[in-house]
Amino acid sequence: MTALRRAAAYPPLRRTLKALIGRLPVGRARFMRFARSVADGVDRGSRRRGPAVATPAENLPKHLVSATAKPVAGDGPDPPLVEDAVAITDRRYGPSGKAAPVFDVALFEELNEEYASKPIVPQPRGNDPASAAARARKRLDMVHEEVDLTGRRALEFGCGAGFEVWMLSHRFDADATGIDIVARKSWPSLTDEHTRFVMADLAVDQPFPPDSFDRIVSFSVFEHVTHPHGTLRELYRVLRPGGLAVIGANLHRGPMASHRYREVFFPWPHLLFTDDVFREFYARKGLPPAGPSWVNRLTWAEYEGLFRRVGFRLRSLRFTERPLDEAFYERFEGVLGRYPRWDLTKDFFHVVAEKPAQ
């Protein structure tokens, strides 16, 4: 049986061998011997069954065997036998002698009082309409510096009150649509010929046909999304080939990811305390009980995997971050040490993602 016949079960190999042989004007016999050896090796490999067998040292290539190794006779001496040999006598890391902290409402209030003069967010953003409109203008101007918004078909995912959508159509002459899972009182006043709002779950309801938009923007919404993979896949579907999505979101391990920084001043409260402690803290302040405001706990590595899995190409990436509070970290390293320090310094990611042109 010739080499090519033996390779018949491997069409790609057979085609490759034939093509190469046909192009060689000389040395064909030498090449046939080479091709036969390759095919024989493939054929033998296809018949091999069972676990791999270790190669004896004498059969290893010489560069893998020490040239100075000498044979050792017998089993050699036995080590001293020490009773309870695994008992710890000293340690590099370990208990400090202090009792582990109890993460209850008393510690929560103690930390909050301690950080009242140096809150994690010194000046929380305003929620009044004027502040929201000013923030919408600033956000879109920053996006426009990276991605041209002028005259585009644009979608804002998680549009909230809708000021960004209105700015897209009136400041950037875009044909703008906003989508959210709840309708807002402001929507009717902001709606016009080029400004529309849709109440729907994007991933479930799929209200838009494929390739509907040139641009997609989303600001601090994805951390509240129950099904981030399905949502991102749907955003990819409704974006036209060559279109761009500008997305920013709060990362769960960041210092301010609890979203409760107006009343809670110290970093990472959501990593240290349970939701029940949060609610008790708010109740003791005479406020409606509230827990941390997030849905998913995705890290940037997980987000990046989702972007690539649905087909996006990342054109740019940056993070909003802050230095690690070393004293606070060391104080609660028993809990915070479970997370990479890199993650603990990242508040937000900001990406420009492209749907590749077909």
Pairing mode, strands 313-321 and 195-199: unpaired
Distances (CA, A) of 62 to 57, 59, 67, 69, 72: 9, 8, 8, 12, 20
Q: What is the pTM of this model?
A: 0.75
- The Cα-based distances of 291 to 119, 163, 256, 259, 268 in angstroms read 18, 27, 13, 9, 13
Convert the pLDDT of each residue in 202-216 to its tens digit: 999 999 999 999 999
pLDDT attached to residue 11: 55
The string of pLDDT tens digits covering residues 214-243 is 999 999 999 999 999 999 999 999 999 999
- The pLDDT of residue 55 is 59
Q: pLDDT (tens digit, 9 = 90+) per residue, 252-308?
A: 999 999 999 999 999 999 999 999 999 999 999 999 999 999 889 999 999 999 999
pLDDT (tens digit per residue) in 301-347:
999 999 999 999 999 999 999 999 999 999 999 999 999 999 999 99
- The identity of residue 186, as a single letter, is S
CB-based contacts of 221, cutoff 8 Å, min separation 6:
157, 158, 249
User: Is the predicted pLDDT of residue 34 greater than 60, yes or no?
Assistant: no
Backbone phi, psi, residue 195, to 5° = -135, 115
